[in-house]
Amino acid sequence: MNVDPITLTVIQAGLQQVCDEMDLTFSRAAFSPVIAEANDRSDGIYAAEDGALIAQGNAGLPVFVGTMQYSTRTLIAMIASGEVSSPEPGDIYIVNDPYLGGTHLMDVRFATPFFRDGKIFCWLSNTGHWPDTGGAVPGGFSASATAVEQEGLRLPPVKLFKRGQLDQEIFAIIKSNIRVAEQRIGDVQAQAAALLVGQERLTALLDRYGDAQVSEAIAELRSRAKTQMLACLTEIAPGTYPATAYVDSDGVVNTPLTIALTVTKDEMGLTFDFSGSSKPCLGPMNSVRATTLSAVYLAMRHIFPEVPMNAGAFAPLTVIGIENTFLDAQYPRPVSGCAAEVSQRIAEAVFAALVTALPERVTAAPAGTSGNFALGGHDPSKGRDYVMYQISGGGYGGNADHDGLTNGCSTIGISKAPPIEIMEQAYPVLYHRYALHEGSGGAGAQRGGFGLDYEIELRRGHAKASFVMDHGRFGPQGALGGGDGAVNRVTVWRDGVAHTPEHLSKEQDIPLLPGDRVHVQTPGGGGYRDPLSRSPDLVAEDVRLGRYTRNQAAELFGVVLEDAAPTPDNDQTQTLREEKRATQK
Q: Which of residues 408-427 bind other proteins (CB under 8 A)?
A: 408-409, 411, 414-417, 419-422, 424-425
Among 10, 136, 181, 260, binds other proteins (CB under 8 A): 10
CB of 254 to other proteins, least distance (A): 29
* CA dist., res. 533 & res. 420, Å (int): 39
CB of 539 to other proteins, least distance (A): 15
Q: Looking at the DSSP assignment, which residues form a beta bridge with residue 231?
A: none
Rounded to 5°, angle at Cα 414 from 457 and 458: 10
Q: What is the separation of C-alpha 471 from the centre of its chain, rounded to a whole number of angstroms? A: 15
Segment near other proteins (CB under 8 A); pick from 68-76, 137-145, 389-397, 570-578: 389-397
Give yes or no for residue 393 binding other proteins (CB under 8 A).
Answer: yes
CB of 330 to other proteins, least distance (A): 31
CB of 190 to other proteins, least distance (A): 7
CB of 136 to other proteins, least distance (A): 24
* CA dist., res. 487 & res. 166, Å (int): 48
Instruction: Determine the number of helices (DSSP H) and then strands (DSSP E) in the chain.
Output: 13, 20
Query: Footprint of other proteins on residues 44-83 (CB under 8 A)?
Result: 58-59, 62
CB of 40 to other proteins, least distance (A): 12
Q: Which is nearer to other proteins, 147 or 435 (CB)?
A: 435
Give yes or no for residue 430 binding other proteins (CB under 8 A).
Answer: yes
Please tell me the number of Cα atoms within 13 Å of 119 on its side-chain side: 5
Burial classification of residue 49, based on how many CB atoms lie within 10 Å of its CB (0-12 exposed, 13-18 middle, 19 or more buried): exposed
- With the C-alpha atoms ordered 417, 367, 292, 124, is the resulting torsion angle positive or negative? positive
The length of the chain is 585
- With the C-alpha atoms ordered 92, 190, 71, 230, is the resulting torsion angle positive or negative? positive
Among 3, 19, 29, 195, binds other proteins (CB under 8 A): 29
Give yes or no for residue 16 binding other proteins (CB under 8 A).
Answer: yes
Give yes or no for residue 2 binding other proteins (CB under 8 A).
Answer: no
Q: Which is nearer to other proteins, 380 or 419 (CB)?
A: 419
Which of 296, 244, 301, 300 lies closest to 275 in space, CA to CA? Answer: 244
CB of 255 to other proteins, least distance (A): 29
Among 9, 165, 500, 575, binds other proteins (CB under 8 A): 9
Q: Which is nearer to other proteins, 135 or 408 (CB)?
A: 408
Segment near other proteins (CB under 8 A); pick from 18-26, 45-53, 137-145, 474-482: 18-26
Query: Footprint of other proteins on residues 228-257 (CB under 8 A)?
Result: 228, 231-232
Which of 55, 51, 568 lies closest to 309 in space, CA to CA? Answer: 55
Give the E-state strand segments of 392-477 in sequence order: 429-437, 451-458, 463-468
DSSP letters spanning 255-291: S-EEEEEEEEEETTEEEEE-TTPPPP-SSS----HHH
**Do the bridges between strand 119-129 and strand 158-162 make them parallel or antiparallel, or are there none, so unpaired?**
unpaired
Query: Footprint of other proteins on residues 342-381 (CB under 8 A)?
Result: 351, 363, 366
Q: Looking at the DSSP assignment, which residues form a beta bridge with residue 436?
A: 452
Among 227, 271, 491, 549, binds other proteins (CB under 8 A): 227
Query: Footprint of other proteins on residues 142-201 (CB under 8 A)?
Result: 182-183, 185-186, 189-190, 193, 196
Contacts of 166 (CB under 8 A, 6+ apart): 160, 188, 192
Phi/psi of residue 281, nearest 5 degrees: -105, 165
Contact 476, 368 (CB under 8 A): yes
Query: Footprint of other proteins on residues 513-572 (CB under 8 A)?
Result: 544-547
Q: Which is nearer to other proteins, 73 or 201 (CB)?
A: 201
- Cβ neighbour number for residue 224 with a 10 Å cutoff: 19
Contact 217, 57 (CB under 8 A): no
Q: Which is nearer to other proteins, 167 or 455 (CB)?
A: 455
Q: Is 83 helix (H, G, I), strand (E, B) or coil?
A: coil
**Do the bridges between strand 317-320 and strand 269-273 make them parallel or antiparallel, or are there none, so unpaired?**
parallel
* CA dist., res. 16 & res. 201, Å (int): 11
User: Contact letters (x/-) for other proteins, 431-450, by CB under 8 A?
Assistant: xxxxxx--------------
Q: Which is nearer to other proteins, 204 or 253 (CB)?
A: 204
Q: Which is nearer to other proteins, 228 or 572 (CB)?
A: 228
Phi/psi of residue 75, nearest 5 degrees: -60, -45
Query: Footprint of other proteins on residues 465-504 (CB under 8 A)?
Result: none
CA–CA distances in Å: residue 75 to residues 68, 113, 129, 143, 194: 10, 11, 19, 30, 20
* CA dist., res. 287 & res. 98, Å (int): 9
Give yes or no for residue 27 binding other proteins (CB under 8 A).
Answer: yes
CB of 222 to other proteins, least distance (A): 11
User: Contact letters (x/-) for other proteins, 106-145, by CB under 8 A?
Assistant: ----------------------------------------
Q: Which is nearer to other proteins, 119 or 433 (CB)?
A: 433
CB of 502 to other proteins, least distance (A): 28
Segment near other proteins (CB under 8 A); pick from 209-217, 253-261, 394-402, 466-474: 394-402
Give yes or no for residue 305 binding other proteins (CB under 8 A).
Answer: yes
Segment near other proteins (CB under 8 A); pick from 27-35, 248-256, 279-287, 482-490: 27-35
Q: Which is nearer to other proteins, 253 or 545 (CB)?
A: 545
Give yes or no for residue 306 binding other proteins (CB under 8 A).
Answer: yes
Segment near other proteins (CB under 8 A); pick from 209-217, 223-231, 267-275, 461-469: 223-231
